[in-house]
Amino acid sequence: MTTGGRNGLVRRAWAVWASGALCVLASAGCSQPGTGADAGGDNAPGGAVTSPAAAPGTGKPGTGKPSGAAAGTEDGAGAADHPALATARINVADGQTIGVGMPVSITFARPVPAAQRADVERALAVTTSPRTTGGWSWIKDRNLHDGQRIDYRPPAFWKPATKISVRAGGHLNRQVTVGRSLVATVDVRTHTMTVAEDGRERRVPITAGAPGMDTWNGTMVVSDKQRRVWMDSRTVDYGDAYRGYYNYAVHLTASGTYLHENPKAGANAGRRNITHGCIGLAADGTARRFFDSVIPGDVIRVVGSKETVDAGNGYGDWNLGWDQWTAGSALA
């Protein structure tokens, strides 16, 4: 189902995050861009990263030091803690392995005023091994106010095996490792997904958003995944069209885009686009195999569609060029 918030309600319940949007499966596929659904089923295994848009306080490349914390240094060291840092949350779990597209995302319980954002940035530090240039940028999250989210990323995807340490003030620290590289490119015109994993490629037939319900274009990042998700058409103004659990759901945007098993994909994947915006995979084991292969931070790039997903709709950070990204720093 697709995604991004052009109409409908966004209602979800998460144990870790306060709110977010799920994709909704209609008889032919997924919800229209901009819709959401109630969530159910099993949580993503291993403390998977969830959407930054769902983080109240909780999706996804110079100058070298554009945002006060250059990789390989601790430019925030010694800065006095800003009060906002007392409510800060980081989107990655300590010790987690992440995909090459995962930004470091920090959210705050209340908006940080524009005049105070530079002080907050000075209290943030990212160090990497090997040394990697990167920078902070304030992102307008789809489900938060301006000033409640700041992300850190390099100019291009992280290199596999990079070790990343994050510090927000004196009390909040995380250490994560970048795993193998997985970048999946979905071409909605040819109804195929090319999965590049550590130098090997495989092609998978898919079905994407039908005309008028187009899948988001651009680069998205896996925020989390669930073995099954409860989807209810009433949350997206589709009446009683469908209610039930749907399998192997890989979460891509806060507005509701998923890459998931679609019962109608067997007859349509590789041939035509029939969903309401999500990316559908067949129930012959194709969806399960892809689900098993991905981790939070893996990259899903959609080409041949129309509207590009916003930076704050999940982890849409990579849809900003590097100059745009560094301009979002309060220290630029």
pLDDT in tens, 109-146: 999 999 999 999 999 999 999 999 999 999 999 999 99
- The closest alpha carbon to 264, from 241, 245, 287, 282, belongs to 282
- In this structure, the answer to whether residues 215 and 312 fall within a common structural domain is yes
pLDDT in tens, 62-103: 222 333 333 333 434 344 689 999 999 999 999 999 999 999
pTM: 0.81
Three-state SS for 175-196 is: EEEECCCEEEEEECCCCEEEEE
End-of-domain residue from the set 179, 196, 229: 179
Residue 46 lies in a domain: no
- In this structure, the answer to whether residues 166 and 192 fall within a common structural domain is no
In the numeric block, which tokens belong to residue 279?
């990316």
- In this structure, the answer to whether residues 210 and 162 fall within a common structural domain is no
Q: Which amino acid is at 60?
A: K
Domains in the chain, number: 2
CATH number at residue 65: 2.60.40.3710
Residue 305 lies in a domain: yes
Under 8 Å CB-to-CB from 77, ≥6 apart: which residues?
A: 125
- In this structure, the answer to whether residues 102 and 139 fall within a common structural domain is yes
pLDDT in tens, 185-217: 999 999 999 999 999 999 999 999 999 889 999
- In this structure, the answer to whether residues 315 and 186 fall within a common structural domain is yes
Under 8 Å CB-to-CB from 117, ≥6 apart: which residues?
A: 138, 147, 150, 330
- In this structure, the answer to whether residues 136 and 251 fall within a common structural domain is no
CATH number at residue 293: 2.40.440.10
**Mean pLDDT over residues 256-263, rounded?**
93
- In this structure, the answer to whether residues 220 and 267 fall within a common structural domain is yes
pLDDT in tens, 16-32: 333 333 333 332 234 44
Task: Please state, in angstroms and rounded to a whole number, the distance separating the CA atoms of residues 100 and 112.
Answer: 29
Residue 240 lies in a domain: yes
Residue 332 lies in a domain: no
- In this structure, the answer to whether residues 95 and 157 fall within a common structural domain is yes
Task: Show the domain range for 193.
Answer: 182-319
- In this structure, the answer to whether residues 91 and 141 fall within a common structural domain is yes
Strand partners, 252: none
